[in-house]
Structure 1
Amino acid sequence: MNTYTRQQLALRNGQDKPEIWVAFEGKIYDVGRSRLWRNGKHYEHWAGQDLTDELKDAPHTHSVFEKFEVIGVLNP
């Protein structure tokens, strides 16, 4: 599996590059097919970043990530 840096993840924000990726618990997910992530934004969250710490404020659990493809891991 590919490993990406935080800088590489940051470019996959739906603006700088067409990919829309987010990280959660060390895995990077492609959320680009979700209508909820259009243009790289989901409510007050932006793609291209690690959302691990932000999940506690979300109205859903970590299981939401199960429907997205894991495309790599985040280099710590």
Structure 2
Amino acid sequence: MRIFEFENTFMQTYSKAQLAKRNGQDRDEIWIAFKGKIYDVTDSRLWRNGTHYEHWAGQDLTEELTAAPHTALVFERFEVVGMLED
């Protein structure tokens, strides 16, 4: 585990395996990753039970966004809770 500075705040890094546990099934947290940042989407009604259309929480969705009907600006409303390890 590493600590990473993001916007003057120190953030924990998480592995893909750790992110996968935050899928809305194994734990209460529902997290997704996009461009290295991990977002908490737990309170979003669009991510209930860890799914959003054909997308599953607990994953890096960077490449999948190219097919989404929205831009990356949608992530601005969610809290960044960590950084995804390379």
| TM bucket normalised to smaller | over 0.9
Higher Cα radius of gyration: 2
Number of matched pairs: 76
The answer for unaligned runs of 5 or more in structure 2 is 1-10
Moved over 3 A (4+): none
- Return 5+ residue gaps in structure 1 as ranges: none
Match of 2:62 among 52, 56, 65: 52
Considering only aligned residues, what root-mean-square deviation do their CA atoms show, in Å? 0.3
Between Structure 1 and Structure 2, the one with more helix by share is: 1
The yes-or-no answer on 1:7 pairing with 2:7 is: no
Q: 1:40 aligns with which of 50, 57, 81?
A: 50
For 2:7, the equivalent position in structure 1 comes to: none
- Does residue 69 of structure 1 match 2:79? yes
Percent of counterpart pairs with the same letter?
A: 71
Q: TM-score, normalised by structure 1?
A: 0.99
Letter in 1 for 2:82: G
Question: How far has the Cα of 1:64 moved from its partner?
Answer: 0.2
**2:42 & 2:27 partners in 1: Cα distance?**
11
Higher RCO structure (Cα 8 Å, ≥6 apart): 1
TM-score normalised by the chain length of structure 2: 0.88
